[in-house]
Amino acid sequence: MGYYTKFTLEWAVGGAGADQEAVRQDVAKWIRGNEEAHYALNDDGTFFESAKWYDWQTDLRELSVLMPNVWFVLHGYGEESGDIWRGYAKAGKVEKVKAELKFKVPGFFKLKH
Which of 34, 24, 78 is CA-nearest to residue 55? 34
Say whether pLDDT at 113 is over 70: no
Q: pTM, whole model, 2 decimals? A: 0.88
3-state secondary structure string across the chain:
CCCCEEEEEEEEECCCCCCHHHHHHHHHHHHHHCHHHHHHECCCCCECCCECCCCHHHHHHHHHHHCCCEEEEEEEEECCCCCEEEEEEECCEEEEEECCCCCCCCHHHCCCC
In angstroms, how far is the first alpha carbon of the chain from the final one?
Answer: 55
Say whether pLDDT at 77 is over 90: yes
Say whether pLDDT at 78 is over 70: yes
pLDDT value of residue 32: 98
Q: How far, in Å, CA of 113 to CA of 104, rounded?
A: 20
For range 39-45, the mean pLDDT? 97
Say whether pLDDT at 110 is over 80: no
Each residue's pLDDT tens digit, 6-38 = 999 999 997 666 788 999 999 999 999 999 999
Mean pLDDT of the chain: 93
More confidently predicted of 1 and 66: 66
- Tell how strand 70-78 and strand 93-98 pair up: unpaired
Which of 91, 93, 87, 97 is CA-nearest to residue 40? 87
